[in-house]
Amino acid sequence: MFGNWLKTSILMAGIMALFGAIGAYIGGATGMLLALLLGGAMNVFSYWFSDQMVLRMYNAQEVDGASSPYLYNMVAELAQRADMPMPRVYIIDEAQPNAFATGRNPDHAAVAATTGILQMLSARELRGVMAHELAHVKHRDILISTISATMAGAISMLANFAMFFGGRDSEGRPANPIASIAMMILAPLAASLIQMAISRSREFEADRGGAEISGDPVSLANALAKIDAYARGIPMQTAEAHPETAQMMIMNPLSGGGLRGLFSTHPATEERIARLHALARS
């Protein structure tokens, strides 16, 4: 666990350094300061309002013990096992089997499951999935993923700004336009790769935490195998329109491409399953 947190901290430092470097490229020391202030303001906004925005984006409907006793009571039992506050519970009317957690901290968290995952998985498998999402909440991964996603988006914005308005070298002279073009292309790419590396690291830790909460790593492994087999063939239009939300899901909801592994927000499902089976054996 410590190794994953160290890796995440290093990656977060990298994305912050990249953000500051672009600011410095645009306007020297003043540009770096303004860029970091802008990034901080965006992170504060995301921290407080990202959960509402995402749930509204997916048209998620909140449920309780009366409207959806099966899912609600399952989450309540797992939250009690994890010694966590009860999160709000939502259902999303989507055929693709998937689930995610959101919220700024364990006291203000929500978990959501699609109708597709409720129909596809057995009770034990669904229990493993919801335990995985509660592990994200318990580890405060929501904060990390929100900051990384926000910073990646801000880096893209700053890189485009540098392209159209130019940058300055270390002596304050206008920068080479070729350097501006390179900045516009490479900086967002680097930020996205760092963001995805952070997401993959946290998914492994949530699998481990979810297995501990549920006490059933094999069922979570079985659930991942089922979701992976079916999710690729069932598009989720909201996720395709808002790919920045892909990292929140238990399985990447986006259609694949030639560089799917490099640009995936999630680790290879086979490796996740292998780790869970190893955990069960131990």
pLDDT of the chain along its 282 residues, tens only? Answer: 554 456 556 666 666 676 667 766 666 667 667 766 776 676 677 667 778 888 999 999 999 999 999 999 999 999 999 999 999 999 999 999 999 999 878 999 999 999 999 999 999 999 999 999 999 999 888 767 666 666 666 666 666 666 665 555 555 555 556 656 666 666 666 666 666 666 677 899 999 999 999 999 999 999 999 999 998 889 999 988 888 788 889 999 986 554 444 556 788 999 999 999 999 998
Q: What is residue 109's DSSP assignment?
A: E
133 is catalytic: yes
Strand, helix or coil at 216?
coil
- Of 94, 133, 203, 205, the catalytic one is 133
Give the three-state DSSP class for 110. strand
Query: Are 35 and 19 a contacting pair, CB within 8 Å?
Result: yes
> Which tokens hold the place of 170?
């270390």
What does each C-alpha distance from 247 to 77, 146, 203, 233, 251 come to in angstroms? 26, 10, 9, 18, 8
Q: What's the token pair of residue 77?
A: 């039992």
Residue 143 to residues 4, 254, 279, Cα–Cα distance (Å): 16, 22, 27
For residue 63, list its beta bridge partners.
Answer: 89
90 residue type, one letter: Y
> What is the reported pTM?
0.77
